[in-house]
Chains A and B, each alone.
Chain A
Amino acid sequence: MTQKYDVIIIGAGMSAMAAGIRLAHYGKKTLILEKHFISGGLNSYYQRGKRKFDVGLHALTNFCGPREKRKPLTKLLKQLRIPYDTFELQEQSHSLISFPERTMKFSNDFNELVEEVAQNFPHEIDGFSKLVSYMEEYNEVALDNETIMAKDVVSKYIKDSLLIEMIFCPLLIYGSAWEDDMDFSQFVIMFKSIYLEGFSRPKGGVRTIIDTLLKRLEESECEVRFRCGVEKIITKDGKAIGVLTTKGEEIHADKILSSAGNPETMKLVNNDLSQDQLPAIGKLSFTETILCTDQRPKELGQDATIIFYNNRDKYSYRRPETLIDNRSSVICLPNNFSNDELDEGWIRLTMMANYPKWKELERNVYLEQKNIVLEESIEIAKKFLPNWDGSFQFKDVFSPTTIERYTGHFQGTVYGSTDKKRDGKTEYENLYLIGTDQGFLGIVGSMLSGVSMANLYGLMD
């Protein structure tokens, strides 16, 4: 007999786990199907010897205190029935936006950024404040906001292109599917989550979040199957009715929520579609270098938590022509969150990378190129760690092809397609998108997406 569920969720990343908790908690018979053997998706974890690493985590955005009202993070935790204290959030010290001519500092106290703008760009502080007021009133999460590009809006308030570039830099690299710009709603979400709210790190890293979500899934009696991918989404008369798994089972459901991504999901419906018939595949992918050192970043001369580095006059946020773009980067120093719990110094470094170029490399050239990424990463990190000689105890580098292999995102895209579906609807009835390609991303954003889509299409109708 064909198995039958109320809801099938494709993937066990952040959005999928959050959606599963909501649905199962309220009695929906829910099945999560994940092709990988662990959960977390783009923000999972792994181990090398005794060392435990997070795939993605630099920082959790949307920091807020325990009793702060009406904040995205408190809303999310409430919806998932997770007490605030569970994550034991460790706040950043401060972060830097480092450009050739100027450096600006920001922290979890927004006034610090306001003062930096006033000091570095006195002629723009009025415009900046007006922009902030405008954004505070703006409903960035409305599902029917039309797409307008953020630089068009921001340039009405701020004229100095250097300031515009500096404000955009962290927001783009932490969450834009578009090159060099982003949708204004997404800009407001990112601005609030990074500048107005800020960064923290859960004690124990991303494992703490994932373990908590898994525990909540179990308590809610949501069924999760690992190493069980969805091979095909079965449709009939324009309606999704079930899936075919990689194990050859056919499973039916009233609703299907997919966190695989927009083009990836459409390909699961119809494998014959060619790339130009699919929704756009996002172009942004990255290399990530992880280094462990016997000295901590503070001893090496740096107390910032995250550094957004750019050495061009204009920040270039786009797929580079070459394998990597070494002229800008994000350097994350997890020891510099409050209460350093790590056994050694950690340096994480992200650079933009070109997927097609990585994809065509032969195995031995690929390994050589990963070594070059390592050397480039060390060169960049040294600029901010004046007492470091570049020596390390452990290194790991991953590339766009690694991301593609582990998450199934076409071309190793991290922020998904530019064809977002804000209302989650697809052209097929009963098939909805959650997570990155619904439009909310990052760890907090994708969980919020899972919650809101589960509420809207699983619980409210």
Chain B
Amino acid sequence: MEAVEVRNIVLEIIEDVALDEDLTNLKDEVSLRDQLDLDSMDFLDIVMELKKRHKIEVPQEDYPQLATMQSCVEYLTPKFQ
């Protein structure tokens, strides 16, 4: 799977988890927490959505990899192969 597709998958999940947020101007290299009202519970939801929709497991020690959109895509793309 291409990086752009992975980005779309992550974006779809964030759209659902942070459902009242406007994501049109989301900056890929800036921390998600700084741009959106996301707390640790919401990150847990992102992880659980990845598992539910795409059977992808993110172990707890890898949560920091989900900090920005860019790092999400880098970390997750190999997992989608």
Contact = CB atoms under 8 A, between A and B. Distances in A.
A316 interface: no
B37 A81 contact: no
Contact of A81 (B16, B39, B44): B16
Nearest to A74: B37
Interface string A442-461: 00000000000001000110
B19 interface: yes
Contacts, number: 32
B41 A79 contact: yes
B77 to A, nearest CB: 24
B34 to A, nearest CB: 11
Interface of B: 16-20, 37, 39, 41-42, 44-45, 48, 52
Given A70-B39, A79-B41, A27 B52 contact: yes
Given A74-B37, A455-B41, A66 B20 contact: yes
B41 A460 contact: no
A81 B19 CA distance: 7
A455 B19 CA distance: 19
B17 A78 contact: yes
A26 interface: yes
B20 A67 contact: yes
A74 B36 CA distance: 13
B48 A78 contact: no
A385 B69 CA distance: 58
Contacts of A27: 52
Nearest to A84: B20
A69 interface: yes
B19 A459 contact: no
A460 B19 contact: no
Nearest to B17: A78
B37 A70 contact: yes
Interface in A405-461: 455, 459-460
Contacts of B44: 455, 459-460
A78 B52 contact: no
B48 A459 contact: yes
Nearest to B36: A69
A312 interface: no
Give the most central of B17, B18, B20, B39: most A CB within 10 Å: B20
Contacts of A459: 44, 48
Given A79-B45, A81-B16, 17 more contacts: A26-B48, A26-B52, A66-B20, A67-B20, A70-B37, A70-B39, A74-B20, A74-B37, A75-B39, A77-B19, A78-B19, A79-B41, A81-B19, A83-B20, A459-B44, A459-B48, A460-B44
9 nearest A-B pairs in the assembled complex, by CB-CB distance: A69-B37, A84-B20, A26-B48, A83-B19, A83-B20, A27-B52, A81-B19, A26-B52, A78-B19
Nearest to B20: A84
Interface string A74-93: 11011101011000000000
A280 to B, nearest CB: 32
A208 B81 CA distance: 44
B55 to A, nearest CB: 11
Contacts of A26: 48, 52
A57 B20 CA distance: 26
Contacts of A460: 44
A460 B17 CA distance: 17
Contacts of B52: 26-27
A75 B39 CA distance: 9
